[in-house]
Chains A and B, each alone.
Chain A
Amino acid sequence: MAGSTPRLGIDMRNPIEIKKVEQMAENLAKMDPVKGRSLWQDARKRFFKNRAATASLVVLGLIVLFSAFGGLFAKWPNDEIDWSMLGQIAEMGQPSIQNGHYFGVDELGRDLFARTIQANQISLIVGFVGAAVAVFVGTLYGAISGYAGGRVDSVMMRIVDILSAVPYFFIVILLLVVFGRSIIMIFVGIGLVNWLSCARIVRGQTLSLKQREFVQAAQAMGVPPFKIVVRHIIPNLIGVVIVYGSLLVPEMILAESVISFLGVGVQEPQTSLGVLISEGTATMQYGTFWQLGFPLAFFTLILFCFFYIGDGLRDALDPKDR
């Protein structure tokens, strides 16, 4: 009955064609089984296709390596004052290879190379850990609040409102006073304050996502709410959350510098990029440009890297782009 059944493309009564099919079956059997492709493999592939993001990852990696091991090349420790420089920084404190001050010295005659390395370490840790804490807590909170809706949402968001309006400075001071001035406390303090806006953004996005078909389908199938949140809502938020997270890292580093500027931040002789930058700004009109230049350069590089990586991650992870 020609014409009534859709044709499969092979005429099973033609012996030449049968031969072709048999040949193909043999070839197939010899091939490796097809590997399944997961979301993350896909994402990784796409990330590395993005040249800017890959380059940034490399640069960031180099900076991390430099911060971790650069200290081995420093001729001076980060807290020792070079007494011969003291008082004549503008004239004698420039970067030089001979006296071992590769980046020059700061206002107190301490080696800027060693201090910048140490500052990088602190700032990177503050950035990563702080942002991670903020994003993790904020996303979970916001997604739950947005998905739950109604009363629960109202209460949870009110709590966020109250906490947003409480003087930031006090929370951090109090934490630092009660638990001592350790770096961990600074992360926790800064991170805990910044989760609020992340929560709000995530909640907003969740409200939109909640109405989408795939969520309603999952609900219809009887998937428990928490699983919906974790397996359906959050992955769809990742794009925005990651970009927001990458916006957050520089904010963390800046927030830490403001805290130090106010007098409750990283304790001497440790330092952070924010501290070095504000010290450099104070002296910039007196001719000691290197004091601002080097920390600002690292700061800029680190932030640029995070921006490109953030963009790259967003592009890579976006499930809609299939």
Chain B
Amino acid sequence: MFNLILRRTLVAIPTLLILIVVTFLLMHSAPGGPFTSEKPLPPEVLARVEAKYGLDQPLPLQMWNYVVGIVTEFDFGPSFRYKDRTVNEIFAQGLPITLTYGTLSFVLSVVVGVFLGVWAAIRQNTWIDYLTVAFSMLAQVLPNFVMGPILILIFTLWLGWLPGGGWNGGQWQYIVLPVIALSTSFMASIARLMRSSMLEVLQSNFIRTARAKGMPESTVILRHALKPAMLPVITYLGPVFVYMITGSFIIDAIFSTGGLGYYFINAAFNRDYAVMMGVTLLLGGLTIFFNLVVDLIYGWVDPQIRY
């Protein structure tokens, strides 16, 4: 296992470097630049502005400077659109927000999703099963950008219980609606995957054996069925976390939380290269880390796997 961690960490470095190259190339291929505006700058002025930010240098040199900046000073560069801020500042402010409600949503989705999925599987074809499946389907049907405004309509306008947005330093009232809006559809898909996976496992021979041996049902489920049933769900969790973080931009937009997700998409629109690169690297790093964790858990759950 240690081996795995070491190998992954070593591989992570070239991965991130390749990520930088690919993203750089993609970003610069998109039409327009950070300084393209409706009242366009005269060409000589534009040239000066771009020179100030080093955008006139050849791409490989820009990439090199960027990497050096990160490695030596941990400096991710300035924002081209928000003149008073650097990417580091944007991270410092946006990352805790996104991680807070992202992690809460994730935990909620997993816990509730797994629970519902298992329950529905062991009570197959009862009302619990039908209800779970119905709930899952309904929850997946409602996209974030429909659910968000509906939640605000209900809880802020009609009931007046919760504020309609903002973050206010992370007080609980401001976290509730974003977490609900973000976690619901993942809860549903995890529940469905868990249920179908559990149903499969429950048909297998070793479960039949365990039951035949006279083990109590709860032991059968929890000690024998759960682990293998979790496998597809675990692999699904890696991308779920990433989807949550990237999908959170809609949540940020609707609830004005100030999280990183919105910066991600906004930077794309504004061709704010440094912010774009910074958030991409962050996401890339998180993805790699999370996949490592998932693989470790997978290896622990399924002892037959050899890496």
Interface residues of A (CB under 8 A from B): 149, 154, 157-158, 161-162, 164-171, 173-174, 177, 196-197, 200-201, 203-205, 207-208, 211, 239-240, 243-244, 247, 250, 254, 257-258, 261-262, 274, 277-278, 281, 284-285, 292, 296, 299-300, 303-304, 307, 311, 314, 318, 320-321
Contacts and interface: CB of A to CB of B under 8 A. Distances in A.
Consensus secondary structure, chain A interface: helix
Contacts of B23: 166-167, 170
Interface stretch (B58-66, B103-111, B297-305): B297-305
A162 B15 contact: yes
Contacts of B250: 258
B22 A166 contact: yes
A304 B196 contact: no
A282 to B, nearest CB: 8
Interface stretch (B40-48, B90-98, B145-153): B145-153
Interface of B: 7, 11, 15, 18-19, 22-23, 26-27, 29-31, 133, 136-138, 140-141, 143, 145-146, 149-150, 153, 189, 192-193, 196-197, 200, 203-204, 231-232, 234-236, 238-239, 242, 246, 250, 264-265, 268, 276, 280, 283-284, 287-288, 291, 298, 302, 304-307
Contact of B192 (A173, A201, A243, A318): A243
A35 to B, nearest CB: 27
A250 B302 contact: no
A162 B200 CA distance: 32
B206 to A, nearest CB: 12
B204 to A, nearest CB: 7
A163 to B, nearest CB: 8
Contacts of B203: 318, 320-321
**B contacts with A: majority SS:** helix
B280 A167 contact: yes
A201 B284 CA distance: 19
A247 B191 CA distance: 12
Contacts of A161: 15, 284, 287-288, 291
B200 A239 contact: yes
A152 to B, nearest CB: 13
A167 B238 CA distance: 17
Nearest to B27: A170
Contacts of A243: 192-193, 196
Contacts of B283: 165
A292 B146 CA distance: 10
Contact of A211 (B7, B27, B298, B306): B306
